[in-house]
Amino acid sequence: LLARARALPQPRDLRVRAAGLRGAIASRTGSVESARDELMTAAADAAGTDPDTAVLLLADAILACFFLADTATVADAGARIDGLVPRVTGEPARRMGAVAAGVAGVLTGRGGPERIRLALRPLESGGPLLRDPRLAPWLVLGVLFLRERGTGRAIVPAVVDDLRRRSDLGGLPFLLFLVARDRATGDRWDVAEADYTEGVQLGRETGSTSELAACLAGLAWLQARQGRADACRANAAEVLEVSGPRHLALFQVWALSALGNLELGLGRPEAALAHLERLDALLTDLALVDVDLSPVPELAEALVHLGRAEDARRPAARYAARATEKGQPWAMARAARTVALTCADADIDREFGRALDHHGEALDPFERARTQLAYGARLRRARRRVDAREQLRAALTAFDTLGAAPWADRAAAELRATGETAQRRQAGPAGDLTPQELQIATMLARGRTTREAAAALFLSPKTVEYHLRHVYLKLGVSSRAELAGRLAVPG
Protein backbone atom coordinates (compact mmCIF):
# COMPACT_ATOMS: atom_id res chain seq x y z
CA LEU A 1 0.00 0.00 0.00
CA LEU A 2 2.79 2.42 0.88
CA ALA A 3 4.52 1.69 -2.43
CA ARG A 4 1.30 2.30 -4.37
CA ALA A 5 0.67 5.49 -2.42
CA ARG A 6 3.87 6.96 -3.86
CA ALA A 7 2.18 7.41 -7.27
CA LEU A 8 -0.89 9.17 -5.87
CA PRO A 9 -1.22 12.93 -5.37
CA GLN A 10 -0.88 13.65 -1.64
CA PRO A 11 -0.63 16.62 0.69
CA ARG A 12 2.93 17.23 1.89
CA ASP A 13 2.35 15.89 5.41
CA LEU A 14 0.90 12.60 4.14
CA ARG A 15 3.70 12.27 1.59
CA VAL A 16 6.28 12.74 4.33
CA ARG A 17 4.58 10.26 6.67
CA ALA A 18 4.34 7.62 3.93
CA ALA A 19 8.00 8.03 3.01
CA GLY A 20 8.99 7.81 6.67
CA LEU A 21 7.03 4.58 7.09
CA ARG A 22 8.57 3.10 3.94
CA GLY A 23 11.99 3.99 5.29
CA ALA A 24 11.30 2.48 8.72
CA ILE A 25 10.07 -0.79 7.20
CA ALA A 26 12.90 -1.03 4.68
CA SER A 27 15.53 -0.43 7.37
CA ARG A 28 14.42 -3.61 9.15
CA THR A 29 13.21 -6.00 6.48
CA GLY A 30 14.16 -4.61 3.07
CA SER A 31 16.97 -2.56 1.59
CA VAL A 32 18.67 -0.36 4.17
CA GLU A 33 20.03 1.74 1.32
CA SER A 34 16.46 2.38 0.14
CA ALA A 35 15.53 3.23 3.73
CA ARG A 36 18.33 5.79 3.90
CA ASP A 37 17.25 7.41 0.64
CA GLU A 38 13.54 7.48 1.59
CA LEU A 39 14.30 9.04 4.96
CA MET A 40 16.68 11.68 3.62
CA THR A 41 14.19 12.65 0.89
CA ALA A 42 11.30 12.82 3.35
CA ALA A 43 13.38 14.94 5.75
CA ALA A 44 14.16 17.41 2.97
CA ASP A 45 10.45 17.54 2.10
CA ALA A 46 9.48 18.25 5.72
CA ALA A 47 12.27 20.70 6.59
CA GLY A 48 10.51 23.82 5.35
CA THR A 49 7.26 23.41 7.27
CA ASP A 50 7.83 20.80 10.01
CA PRO A 51 11.37 20.92 11.44
CA ASP A 52 10.51 18.51 14.28
CA THR A 53 9.48 15.77 11.85
CA ALA A 54 12.50 16.51 9.67
CA VAL A 55 14.86 16.03 12.63
CA LEU A 56 13.21 12.72 13.58
CA LEU A 57 13.54 11.48 9.99
CA LEU A 58 17.18 12.56 9.81
CA ALA A 59 17.89 10.70 13.04
CA ASP A 60 16.37 7.54 11.55
CA ALA A 61 18.49 8.10 8.43
CA ILE A 62 21.63 8.30 10.59
CA LEU A 63 20.73 4.94 12.13
CA ALA A 64 20.35 3.41 8.65
CA CYS A 65 23.71 4.92 7.68
CA PHE A 66 25.21 3.49 10.88
CA PHE A 67 24.23 0.00 9.69
CA LEU A 68 25.62 0.75 6.21
CA ALA A 69 28.76 2.45 7.56
CA ASP A 70 27.89 5.34 5.22
CA THR A 71 29.85 8.14 6.87
CA ALA A 72 29.29 10.66 4.05
CA THR A 73 25.51 10.63 4.49
CA VAL A 74 25.92 10.53 8.27
CA ALA A 75 27.87 13.79 8.07
CA ASP A 76 25.23 15.32 5.77
CA ALA A 77 22.35 14.28 8.05
CA GLY A 78 24.16 15.57 11.14
CA ALA A 79 24.76 18.94 9.49
CA ARG A 80 21.10 19.16 8.49
CA ILE A 81 20.02 18.48 12.07
CA ASP A 82 22.29 21.29 13.26
CA GLY A 83 20.60 23.63 10.81
CA LEU A 84 17.12 22.65 11.96
CA VAL A 85 17.64 22.62 15.74
CA PRO A 86 16.95 26.36 16.25
CA ARG A 87 13.47 25.86 14.77
CA VAL A 88 12.58 22.68 16.68
CA THR A 89 9.79 23.13 19.24
CA GLY A 90 9.16 19.65 20.69
CA GLU A 91 11.28 18.03 23.39
CA PRO A 92 11.36 14.53 21.77
CA ALA A 93 12.79 15.94 18.52
CA ARG A 94 15.22 18.13 20.45
CA ARG A 95 16.60 15.19 22.48
CA MET A 96 16.63 12.74 19.58
CA GLY A 97 18.30 15.28 17.33
CA ALA A 98 20.99 16.04 19.91
CA VAL A 99 21.87 12.38 20.44
CA ALA A 100 21.74 11.61 16.70
CA ALA A 101 23.96 14.58 15.85
CA GLY A 102 26.35 13.51 18.62
CA VAL A 103 26.48 9.97 17.23
CA ALA A 104 27.10 11.43 13.76
CA GLY A 105 30.00 13.42 15.18
CA VAL A 106 31.54 10.32 16.76
CA LEU A 107 31.19 8.29 13.55
CA THR A 108 32.79 10.98 11.42
CA GLY A 109 35.53 11.93 13.88
CA ARG A 110 34.10 15.39 14.55
CA GLY A 111 33.43 15.25 18.27
CA GLY A 112 30.00 14.43 19.60
CA PRO A 113 30.31 12.94 23.11
CA GLU A 114 29.53 16.20 24.93
CA ARG A 115 26.36 16.70 22.88
CA ILE A 116 25.23 13.21 23.85
CA ARG A 117 25.93 13.90 27.53
CA LEU A 118 23.94 17.14 27.47
CA ALA A 119 20.99 15.35 25.87
CA LEU A 120 20.98 12.45 28.34
CA ARG A 121 21.61 14.11 31.70
CA PRO A 122 18.15 15.72 32.11
CA LEU A 123 16.53 12.32 31.50
CA GLU A 124 18.41 10.38 34.18
CA SER A 125 15.72 11.09 36.77
CA GLY A 126 13.02 9.56 34.53
CA GLY A 127 10.02 11.12 32.86
CA PRO A 128 7.63 10.50 29.96
CA LEU A 129 10.32 10.82 27.28
CA LEU A 130 11.76 7.48 28.39
CA ARG A 131 8.51 5.88 27.24
CA ASP A 132 8.61 7.41 23.77
CA PRO A 133 9.10 4.34 21.49
CA ARG A 134 10.83 6.36 18.78
CA LEU A 135 13.23 8.07 21.16
CA ALA A 136 14.01 4.98 23.27
CA PRO A 137 16.65 3.33 21.03
CA TRP A 138 18.49 6.62 20.67
CA LEU A 139 18.73 7.10 24.41
CA VAL A 140 20.31 3.66 24.83
CA LEU A 141 22.54 4.15 21.77
CA GLY A 142 23.77 7.43 23.25
CA VAL A 143 24.73 5.71 26.50
CA LEU A 144 26.69 3.08 24.57
CA PHE A 145 28.52 5.61 22.44
CA LEU A 146 29.80 7.34 25.58
CA ARG A 147 31.35 4.14 27.02
CA GLU A 148 31.79 5.77 30.42
CA ARG A 149 30.57 5.51 33.97
CA GLY A 150 27.61 7.52 35.10
CA THR A 151 25.99 9.47 32.30
CA GLY A 152 22.63 8.03 31.31
CA ARG A 153 23.21 4.49 32.55
CA ALA A 154 20.02 4.48 34.66
CA ILE A 155 18.06 5.10 31.46
CA VAL A 156 18.80 1.71 29.93
CA PRO A 157 16.74 -0.68 32.14
CA ALA A 158 13.82 1.76 32.31
CA VAL A 159 13.58 1.96 28.52
CA VAL A 160 13.80 -1.81 28.02
CA ASP A 161 11.24 -2.60 30.72
CA ASP A 162 8.75 -0.17 29.20
CA LEU A 163 9.16 -1.68 25.73
CA ARG A 164 8.61 -5.17 27.13
CA ARG A 165 5.47 -4.11 28.98
CA ARG A 166 4.04 -2.81 25.74
CA SER A 167 5.15 -5.96 23.86
CA ASP A 168 6.66 -3.77 21.15
CA LEU A 169 7.94 -6.46 18.78
CA GLY A 170 9.09 -3.92 16.21
CA GLY A 171 11.45 -2.01 18.47
CA LEU A 172 12.52 -4.79 20.84
CA PRO A 173 15.15 -6.70 18.77
CA PHE A 174 17.33 -3.64 18.16
CA LEU A 175 16.95 -2.50 21.76
CA LEU A 176 17.92 -5.99 22.95
CA PHE A 177 21.02 -5.74 20.78
CA LEU A 178 21.95 -2.40 22.34
CA VAL A 179 21.36 -3.59 25.91
CA ALA A 180 23.26 -6.83 25.28
CA ARG A 181 26.15 -4.84 23.86
CA ASP A 182 26.20 -2.77 27.03
CA ARG A 183 26.27 -5.86 29.25
CA ALA A 184 28.84 -7.63 27.07
CA THR A 185 31.25 -4.75 27.65
CA GLY A 186 30.51 -4.96 31.38
CA ASP A 187 30.53 -7.89 33.78
CA ARG A 188 27.21 -9.61 32.94
CA TRP A 189 28.10 -11.77 29.98
CA ASP A 190 25.47 -14.32 30.98
CA VAL A 191 22.68 -11.73 30.73
CA ALA A 192 24.18 -10.36 27.52
CA GLU A 193 24.07 -13.80 25.93
CA ALA A 194 20.42 -14.21 26.93
CA ASP A 195 19.54 -10.80 25.46
CA TYR A 196 21.41 -11.48 22.21
CA THR A 197 19.79 -14.90 21.91
CA GLU A 198 16.32 -13.44 22.40
CA GLY A 199 17.11 -10.74 19.84
CA VAL A 200 18.20 -13.38 17.31
CA GLN A 201 15.00 -15.33 17.90
CA LEU A 202 12.78 -12.26 17.52
CA GLY A 203 14.76 -11.11 14.47
CA ARG A 204 14.11 -14.45 12.77
CA GLU A 205 10.43 -14.53 13.77
CA THR A 206 9.68 -10.96 12.65
CA GLY A 207 11.85 -10.97 9.53
CA SER A 208 13.93 -8.08 10.88
CA THR A 209 17.10 -8.90 8.95
CA SER A 210 19.05 -5.87 10.13
CA GLU A 211 18.41 -6.61 13.80
CA LEU A 212 19.12 -10.31 13.22
CA ALA A 213 22.53 -9.45 11.77
CA ALA A 214 23.19 -7.05 14.65
CA CYS A 215 22.39 -9.60 17.35
CA LEU A 216 24.32 -12.39 15.61
CA ALA A 217 27.34 -10.10 15.27
CA GLY A 218 27.15 -9.14 18.94
CA LEU A 219 26.79 -12.78 19.96
CA ALA A 220 29.82 -13.78 17.87
CA TRP A 221 31.83 -10.96 19.44
CA LEU A 222 30.89 -12.16 22.96
CA GLN A 223 31.64 -15.78 22.08
CA ALA A 224 35.06 -14.69 20.84
CA ARG A 225 35.83 -13.32 24.29
CA GLN A 226 34.59 -16.58 25.82
CA GLY A 227 36.69 -18.70 23.45
CA ARG A 228 33.64 -20.58 22.10
CA ALA A 229 35.23 -21.16 18.73
CA ASP A 230 32.59 -23.20 16.86
CA ALA A 231 29.68 -20.98 17.90
CA CYS A 232 31.62 -17.79 17.20
CA ARG A 233 32.68 -18.90 13.73
CA ALA A 234 29.17 -20.12 12.84
CA ASN A 235 27.51 -16.88 13.92
CA ALA A 236 30.16 -14.72 12.25
CA ALA A 237 29.72 -16.69 9.01
CA GLU A 238 25.96 -16.11 9.10
CA VAL A 239 26.51 -12.41 9.74
CA LEU A 240 28.77 -12.13 6.70
CA GLU A 241 26.26 -14.10 4.60
CA VAL A 242 23.28 -11.97 5.68
CA SER A 243 25.08 -8.63 5.67
CA GLY A 244 26.87 -8.88 2.34
CA PRO A 245 23.89 -8.66 -0.06
CA ARG A 246 22.29 -5.89 2.03
CA HIS A 247 25.53 -3.91 2.42
CA LEU A 248 25.28 -3.95 6.22
CA ALA A 249 28.94 -3.09 6.53
CA LEU A 250 28.88 -2.33 10.25
CA PHE A 251 28.01 -5.91 11.11
CA GLN A 252 30.66 -7.22 8.73
CA VAL A 253 33.10 -5.10 10.75
CA TRP A 254 31.96 -6.70 14.01
CA ALA A 255 32.04 -10.21 12.55
CA LEU A 256 35.65 -9.78 11.40
CA SER A 257 36.52 -8.26 14.78
CA ALA A 258 35.02 -11.30 16.50
CA LEU A 259 37.04 -13.72 14.35
CA GLY A 260 40.28 -11.81 14.96
CA ASN A 261 39.72 -11.62 18.71
CA LEU A 262 38.82 -15.31 18.85
CA GLU A 263 42.09 -16.38 17.23
CA LEU A 264 44.09 -13.98 19.38
CA GLY A 265 42.55 -15.40 22.54
CA LEU A 266 43.21 -18.96 21.37
CA GLY A 267 46.90 -18.15 20.96
CA ARG A 268 46.90 -18.15 17.15
CA PRO A 269 48.36 -14.72 16.31
CA GLU A 270 49.00 -15.48 12.64
CA ALA A 271 45.35 -16.46 12.03
CA ALA A 272 44.25 -13.43 14.07
CA LEU A 273 46.42 -11.14 11.97
CA ALA A 274 44.74 -12.30 8.75
CA HIS A 275 41.26 -11.39 10.04
CA LEU A 276 42.42 -8.13 11.62
CA GLU A 277 44.26 -6.93 8.51
CA ARG A 278 41.14 -7.67 6.46
CA LEU A 279 39.12 -5.65 8.97
CA ASP A 280 41.57 -2.75 8.89
CA ALA A 281 41.37 -2.65 5.08
CA LEU A 282 37.56 -2.69 5.21
CA LEU A 283 37.49 0.24 7.63
CA THR A 284 39.81 2.17 5.32
CA ASP A 285 37.59 1.45 2.31
CA LEU A 286 34.52 2.58 4.26
CA ALA A 287 36.27 5.71 5.59
CA LEU A 288 35.15 4.69 9.09
CA VAL A 289 37.36 6.73 11.41
CA ASP A 290 35.79 5.99 14.82
CA VAL A 291 38.73 4.77 16.86
CA ASP A 292 36.52 2.36 18.83
CA LEU A 293 36.09 0.23 15.69
CA SER A 294 39.81 0.07 14.94
CA PRO A 295 41.57 -3.29 15.40
CA VAL A 296 44.99 -1.69 15.98
CA PRO A 297 45.28 -2.82 19.65
CA GLU A 298 44.66 -6.42 18.59
CA LEU A 299 46.86 -6.06 15.49
CA ALA A 300 49.71 -4.76 17.62
CA GLU A 301 49.33 -7.61 20.10
CA ALA A 302 49.36 -10.19 17.30
CA LEU A 303 52.48 -8.60 15.79
CA VAL A 304 54.26 -8.62 19.17
CA HIS A 305 53.44 -12.32 19.64
CA LEU A 306 54.86 -12.98 16.17
CA GLY A 307 58.13 -11.26 17.11
CA ARG A 308 57.34 -8.17 15.00
CA ALA A 309 57.23 -5.54 17.74
CA GLU A 310 58.92 -2.97 15.52
CA ASP A 311 56.06 -3.27 12.99
CA ALA A 312 53.56 -2.51 15.76
CA ARG A 313 55.09 0.78 16.96
CA ARG A 314 53.98 3.11 14.18
CA PRO A 315 50.31 2.01 14.03
CA ALA A 316 50.24 2.08 17.85
CA ALA A 317 51.38 5.72 17.87
CA ARG A 318 48.81 6.71 15.21
CA TYR A 319 46.06 4.94 17.15
CA ALA A 320 47.08 6.69 20.37
CA ALA A 321 46.83 10.08 18.66
CA ARG A 322 43.32 9.29 17.41
CA ALA A 323 42.22 8.03 20.83
CA THR A 324 43.54 11.18 22.51
CA GLU A 325 41.64 13.30 20.00
CA LYS A 326 38.41 11.45 20.82
CA GLY A 327 39.10 11.74 24.54
CA GLN A 328 36.97 8.78 25.70
CA PRO A 329 38.42 6.57 28.48
CA TRP A 330 37.75 3.21 26.75
CA ALA A 331 39.73 4.17 23.65
CA MET A 332 42.47 5.90 25.64
CA ALA A 333 42.95 2.84 27.87
CA ARG A 334 43.33 0.58 24.83
CA ALA A 335 45.68 3.08 23.22
CA ALA A 336 47.92 3.28 26.29
CA ARG A 337 48.10 -0.53 26.48
CA THR A 338 49.00 -0.72 22.79
CA VAL A 339 51.87 1.73 23.24
CA ALA A 340 52.98 -0.13 26.39
CA LEU A 341 53.31 -3.41 24.49
CA THR A 342 56.41 -2.12 22.69
CA CYS A 343 57.83 0.46 25.12
CA ALA A 344 61.27 0.22 26.72
CA ASP A 345 61.52 -1.78 29.95
CA ALA A 346 62.23 1.43 31.87
CA ASP A 347 58.84 2.81 30.78
CA ILE A 348 56.69 -0.25 31.57
CA ASP A 349 55.19 1.07 34.80
CA ARG A 350 54.47 4.53 33.41
CA GLU A 351 52.77 3.35 30.21
CA PHE A 352 50.74 0.54 31.76
CA GLY A 353 49.89 2.82 34.71
CA ARG A 354 48.36 5.30 32.26
CA ALA A 355 46.28 2.51 30.74
CA LEU A 356 44.98 1.36 34.13
CA ASP A 357 44.10 4.95 35.09
CA HIS A 358 41.91 5.22 31.98
CA HIS A 359 40.35 1.82 32.66
CA GLY A 360 39.20 3.23 35.99
CA GLU A 361 36.90 5.60 34.09
CA ALA A 362 35.65 3.00 31.61
CA LEU A 363 33.27 0.07 32.07
CA ASP A 364 34.93 -2.93 30.45
CA PRO A 365 36.51 -5.34 32.97
CA PHE A 366 37.65 -7.63 30.15
CA GLU A 367 39.74 -4.88 28.57
CA ARG A 368 41.19 -3.99 31.97
CA ALA A 369 42.12 -7.63 32.55
CA ARG A 370 43.80 -7.77 29.14
CA THR A 371 45.89 -4.78 30.15
CA GLN A 372 46.81 -6.45 33.45
CA LEU A 373 47.75 -9.65 31.61
CA ALA A 374 49.97 -7.73 29.19
CA TYR A 375 51.47 -5.73 32.08
CA GLY A 376 52.24 -8.84 34.09
CA ALA A 377 53.74 -10.59 31.07
CA ARG A 378 56.07 -7.66 30.38
CA LEU A 379 57.10 -7.45 34.03
CA ARG A 380 57.92 -11.15 34.05
CA ARG A 381 60.02 -10.82 30.91
CA ALA A 382 61.82 -7.89 32.56
CA ARG A 383 62.72 -10.31 35.42
CA ARG A 384 60.36 -8.61 37.89
CA ARG A 385 58.51 -11.76 38.85
CA VAL A 386 57.14 -10.55 42.20
CA ASP A 387 55.68 -7.40 40.64
CA ALA A 388 54.26 -9.45 37.76
CA ARG A 389 52.27 -11.70 40.08
CA GLU A 390 50.01 -8.89 41.34
CA GLN A 391 48.88 -7.99 37.81
CA LEU A 392 48.56 -11.59 36.68
CA ARG A 393 46.49 -12.61 39.72
CA ALA A 394 44.08 -9.74 39.06
CA ALA A 395 43.83 -10.65 35.37
CA LEU A 396 43.22 -14.33 36.14
CA THR A 397 40.48 -13.53 38.67
CA ALA A 398 38.72 -11.20 36.23
CA PHE A 399 38.90 -13.60 33.29
CA ASP A 400 37.67 -16.53 35.37
CA THR A 401 34.81 -14.47 36.83
CA LEU A 402 33.72 -13.27 33.40
CA GLY A 403 34.02 -16.66 31.74
CA ALA A 404 36.82 -15.68 29.32
CA ALA A 405 38.31 -19.18 29.35
CA PRO A 406 41.21 -18.88 26.87
CA TRP A 407 42.37 -15.60 28.37
CA ALA A 408 42.18 -17.10 31.86
CA ASP A 409 44.32 -20.00 30.65
CA ARG A 410 46.93 -17.55 29.33
CA ALA A 411 46.96 -15.59 32.59
CA ALA A 412 47.32 -18.83 34.57
CA ALA A 413 50.24 -19.92 32.37
CA GLU A 414 51.99 -16.57 32.86
CA LEU A 415 51.41 -16.78 36.61
CA ARG A 416 52.89 -20.28 36.75
CA ALA A 417 55.92 -18.98 34.85
CA THR A 418 56.58 -16.61 37.76
CA GLY A 419 56.75 -19.61 40.09
CA GLU A 420 53.27 -19.20 41.62
CA THR A 421 50.47 -21.77 41.46
CA ALA A 422 47.38 -20.30 39.80
CA GLN A 423 44.19 -20.33 41.90
CA ARG A 424 41.19 -20.68 39.56
CA ARG A 425 37.66 -19.41 40.26
CA GLN A 426 34.27 -20.39 38.88
CA ALA A 427 32.63 -18.14 36.28
CA GLY A 428 29.53 -16.04 36.94
CA PRO A 429 26.51 -16.53 39.21
CA ALA A 430 24.22 -18.04 36.58
CA GLY A 431 25.72 -21.51 36.52
CA ASP A 432 24.73 -23.54 33.47
CA LEU A 433 21.39 -21.85 32.83
CA THR A 434 20.26 -21.77 29.22
CA PRO A 435 19.73 -18.30 27.70
CA GLN A 436 15.95 -18.62 28.03
CA GLU A 437 16.19 -19.83 31.64
CA LEU A 438 18.44 -16.88 32.44
CA GLN A 439 16.06 -14.46 30.72
CA ILE A 440 13.14 -15.74 32.80
CA ALA A 441 15.18 -15.84 36.02
CA THR A 442 16.37 -12.27 35.49
CA MET A 443 12.85 -10.93 34.98
CA LEU A 444 11.43 -12.72 38.00
CA ALA A 445 14.39 -11.67 40.14
CA ARG A 446 13.60 -8.06 39.24
CA GLY A 447 10.09 -8.46 40.65
CA ARG A 448 8.06 -9.34 37.57
CA THR A 449 5.12 -11.69 38.07
CA THR A 450 4.94 -14.97 36.16
CA ARG A 451 2.25 -13.53 33.88
CA GLU A 452 4.25 -10.37 33.20
CA ALA A 453 7.36 -12.39 32.31
CA ALA A 454 5.28 -14.68 30.09
CA ALA A 455 3.78 -11.72 28.22
CA ALA A 456 7.15 -10.03 27.77
CA LEU A 457 8.77 -13.21 26.39
CA PHE A 458 5.71 -14.36 24.40
CA LEU A 459 5.42 -17.58 26.39
CA SER A 460 2.62 -19.15 28.39
CA PRO A 461 2.67 -18.79 32.21
CA LYS A 462 2.97 -22.59 32.45
CA THR A 463 6.10 -22.52 30.31
CA VAL A 464 7.60 -19.84 32.54
CA GLU A 465 6.86 -21.91 35.66
CA TYR A 466 8.40 -24.98 34.00
CA HIS A 467 11.63 -23.12 33.29
CA LEU A 468 11.62 -21.56 36.76
CA ARG A 469 11.61 -25.01 38.39
CA HIS A 470 14.70 -25.92 36.37
CA VAL A 471 16.35 -22.64 37.38
CA TYR A 472 15.75 -23.37 41.08
CA LEU A 473 17.24 -26.86 40.71
CA LYS A 474 20.32 -25.69 38.83
CA LEU A 475 21.08 -22.79 41.17
CA GLY A 476 20.12 -24.56 44.40
CA VAL A 477 17.59 -21.91 45.49
CA SER A 478 13.97 -22.25 46.58
CA SER A 479 12.49 -18.74 46.44
CA ARG A 480 12.49 -15.65 44.28
CA ALA A 481 14.26 -13.70 47.02
CA GLU A 482 17.10 -16.26 47.00
CA LEU A 483 17.10 -16.13 43.20
CA ALA A 484 17.54 -12.35 43.21
CA GLY A 485 20.39 -12.65 45.71
CA ARG A 486 22.12 -15.38 43.71
CA LEU A 487 21.92 -13.53 40.40
CA ALA A 488 22.64 -10.07 41.85
CA VAL A 489 20.69 -8.82 38.84
CA PRO A 490 21.59 -5.30 37.69
CA GLY A 491 18.84 -2.74 37.30
What angle do helix axes 385-402 and 365-381 make, rounded to 10 degrees? 150
Distances, alpha carbon 282 to alpha carbons 8, 149, 257, 274, 294, in Å: 42, 31, 11, 13, 10
Q: Which distant-in-sequence residues (6+ apart) come within 8 Å of 86 by Cβ?
A: none
Q: What is the pTM of this model?
A: 0.82
Q: For residue 355, what pLDDT is reported?
A: 98
Domains of the chain, start order? 1-168 (1.25.40), 185-275 (1.25.40), 430-487 (1.10.10.10)
Task: Report the half-sphere exposure of 289 (CA within 13 A, side-chain side).
Answer: 18
For the residues 431-440, what does the mean pLDDT come to?
76
Share of the chain above pLDDT 90, in %: 50
Q: For residue 491, what pLDDT is reported?
A: 44
Residue 333 scores a pLDDT above 80: yes
Say if residues 124 and 155 touch (Cβ distance below 8 Å).
yes
Q: For residue 438, what pLDDT is reported?
A: 80
User: How far, in Å, CA of 214 to CA of 315, rounded?
Assistant: 29
Q: For residue 6, what pLDDT is reported?
A: 57
**Confidence grade of residue 5 (pLDDT, cut at 50, 70, 90):** low
Mean pLDDT of the chain: 87
For the residues 7-22, what does the mean pLDDT come to?
68
For the residues 216-224, what does the mean pLDDT come to?
97
Distances, alpha carbon 346 to alpha carbons 44, 55, 352, 357, 417, in Å: 58, 53, 12, 19, 22
Q: For residue 339, what pLDDT is reported?
A: 97
For the residues 395-413, what does the mean pLDDT come to?
95
Most confident of 43-52, 223-232, 286-295: 223-232
Q: For residue 310, what pLDDT is reported?
A: 95
Q: Which residues of 326-354 are buried (b: 16+ CB within 10 A; e: fewer)?
A: bebbbbbbbbbbbbbbbbeeeebbebbeb
The string of DSSP letters for 93-159 reads: HHHHHHHHHHHHHHHTTS--HHHHHHHHGGGTT--GGGG-TTTHHHHHHHHHHH-SSSTTTTHHHHH
Contacts 24+ apart (CB under 8 A), 421-424: 422/396, 423/393, 423/396, 424/396, 424/400
Which one is predicted more confidently, 192 or 4? 192
Residue 91 scores a pLDDT above 80: yes
Helices first, then strands: H and E counts in the chain: 26, 0
Q: For residue 274, what pLDDT is reported?
A: 98
For the ranges 164-173, 280-289, 418-427, which has the lowest average pLDDT? 164-173
Q: For residue 425, what pLDDT is reported?
A: 67
**Confidence grade of residue 150 (pLDDT, cut at 50, 70, 90):** low
For the residues 299-325, what does the mean pLDDT come to?
96
Q: For residue 472, what pLDDT is reported?
A: 82
For the ranges 9-18, 276-285, 334-343, 383-392, which has the lowest average pLDDT? 9-18
Residue 138 scores a pLDDT above 90: no
User: How far, in Å, CA of 460 to CA of 319, rounded?
Assistant: 51
For the ranges 23-32, 332-341, 409-418, which has the lowest average pLDDT? 23-32
Say if residues 138 and 174 touch (Cβ distance below 8 Å).
no
Residue 61 scores a pLDDT above 90: yes
User: How far, in Å, CA of 243 to CA of 197, rounded?
Assistant: 18
Which one is predicted more confidently, 125 or 90? 90
For the residues 218-247, what does the mean pLDDT come to?
95
